[in-house]
Amino acid sequence: MGEHPVGGVDYPRTFQEFRDWFAHDDACVDYLEGLRWPVGFVCPECSGGSGWRISQRRMWMCADCGRKTSVTAGTIFHRSHTPISTWFAAAWFVTSTKTGISATALQAQLGFGSYETAWAWLHKLRRAMVRPDRDRLSGLVEVDETFVGGVSVGKPGASTDKVPVQVAVERVSDTKLGRVRFAIADAPGSLDLVEFAATVVEPGSTIRTDGARMLRRLAERGYVHEYVTGYNAANKDSVLPGVHLVASLLKRWLVGTLHYRVSDKHLGYYLDEYAFRFNRRGSKARGLLFYRLMQQAVATDPHPLTELIATS
Q: Which fold has domain 140-276?
A: Nucleotidyltransferase; domain 5 (3.30.420)
Closest to 38 in 3D by CA, of 10, 13, 58: 10
Q: Which residues, in sequence order, are CB contacts of 165 under 8 Å at separation 6+? A: 145, 146, 147, 148, 182, 183, 184, 185, 247, 250, 267, 271
Q: Where are the domains of the chain?
A: 1-24+80-128+281-312, 140-276
Q: What are phi and psi of 294, to 5 degrees?
A: -70, -35
Q: Phi/psi zone of residue 8: left (φ > 0), alpha (ψ -120 to 50 degrees), beta? A: left
Q: What are phi and psi of 175, to 5 degrees?
A: -120, 0
Measured distance CA(118)–CA(281) in Å, rounded: 25
Q: Which residues, in sequence order, are CB contacts of 85 under 8 Å at separation 6+? A: 22, 23, 24, 25, 27, 28
Q: Phi/psi zone of residue 74: left (φ > 0), alpha (ψ -120 to 50 degrees), beta? A: left
pTM of the predicted structure, to 2 decimals: 0.84
Written as tens digits, the pLDDT of the chain (312 aa) is 657 899 999 999 999 999 999 999 999 999 999 999 999 999 999 999 999 988 766 889 999 999 999 999 999 998 888 999 999 999 999 998 888 888 899 999 999 999 988 988 999 999 899 887 789 999 999 999 999 875 444 445 554 568 899 999 999 998 899 999 999 998 888 899 999 999 999 999 999 999 899 999 999 999 999 998 765 555 556 779 999 999 999 999 888 776 555 667 788 888 999 999 999 988 888 899 999 999 999 998 886 666 665 554
